Structure 1
Amino acid sequence: MKIEAVLFDLDGTLADTALDLGGALNTMLRSKNLPEVAMDDIRPVASHGASGLLKLGMNMDKTHPNHAALRQEYLDTYEQCFDQDTVLFEGINEVIAEIAARGLKWGIITNKPHTFTHRLVPSLGFSVAPDVEVSGDTTGEAKPSVKPMLYACEQIGVNPQACLYVGDAQRDMIAGKNAGMKTVLVSWGYIHADDDTANWPADVVIDTPMQLLDLC
Structure 2
Amino acid sequence: MAADAVAYPKAVLFDLDGTLLDSAPDMVAAIDAMRAARGQPPMPLEQLRPHVSKGARAMVAAAFPDVPDDERERWIPEFLDCYQRALGHHGTLFEGVDAMLEALENAGCTWGIVTNKPEYLARQLMPVLGWEQRCAVLIGGDTLSARKPDPLPLIVAAERIGVAAEQCVYVGDDERDIIAARAAGMPSVVALWGYRLDEDNPIAWQGDVMIDVPSQLIAADAWPGTR
| Band the TM-score falls in, shorter-chain normalisation | over 0.9
Which of 29, 37, 42 lines up with 1:36 in the alignment? 42
Give the whole-Å Cα distance in 2 for the aligned partners of 1:56 and 1:166. Answer: 26
Which of 199, 207, 212 lines up with 1:207 in the alignment? 212
Give the whole-Å Cα distance in 2 for the aligned partners of 1:128 and 1:97. Answer: 13
1:133-171 Cα offsets, whole Å, 9 max, x none, are: 111111121110111001100100111111110010011
Query: 2:18 is matched with which residue?
Result: 12
* TM-score normalised to structure 2 length: 0.89
1:96 aligns with 2:101: yes
Question: Unaligned stretches of 5+ in structure 1?
Answer: none
Query: 1:77 is matched with which residue?
Result: 82
Q: How far apart are residue 57 of structure 1 and its match?
A: 0.6
Query: 1:166 is matched with which residue?
Result: 171
Which of 93, 106, 111 lines up with 1:106 in the alignment? 111
* TM-score normalised to structure 1 length: 0.93
Give the 5 Å matches for 1:112-151: 112-126=117-131, 129-151=134-156
Evaluate the alpha carbon distance shift between residue 143 and residue 60 of structure 1 in structure 2; reply closer, same or farther with a 3 A threshold.
farther
How large is the Cα RMSD of the aligned pairs?
1.9
Q: How far apart are residue 126 of structure 1 and its match?
A: 4.3
The 3-state SS of whatever aligns with 1:93 is helix
The 3-state SS of whatever aligns with 2:85 is coil
Query: 1:58 is matched with which residue?
Result: 64
Give the whole-Å Cα distance in 2 for the aligned partners of 1:133 and 1:142. Answer: 13
Residue 160 of structure 2 aligns with an amino acid whose one-letter code is Q
Q: How far apart are residue 177 of structure 1 and its match?
A: 1.1
Residue 15 of structure 1 aligns with an amino acid whose one-letter code is L
Aligned residue pairs, count: 215
Amino-acid identity (%): 37
Evaluate the alpha carbon distance shift between residue 92 and residue 2 of structure 1 in structure 2; reply closer, same or farther with a 3 A threshold.
closer
Asked whether the 8 Å contact 1:97–1:127 carries over to 2, the reply is no
Structure 1 segments of 4+ aligned residues over 4 angstroms from their partners: none
Asked whether the 8 Å contact 2:151–2:180 carries over to 1, the reply is yes
Higher alpha-carbon Rg: 2
Evaluate the alpha carbon distance shift between residue 185 and residue 200 of structure 1 in structure 2; reply closer, same or farther with a 3 A threshold.
same
Query: 2:161 is matched with which residue?
Result: 156
Query: 2:55 is matched with which residue?
Result: 49
Asked whether the 8 Å contact 2:8–2:104 carries over to 1, the reply is no
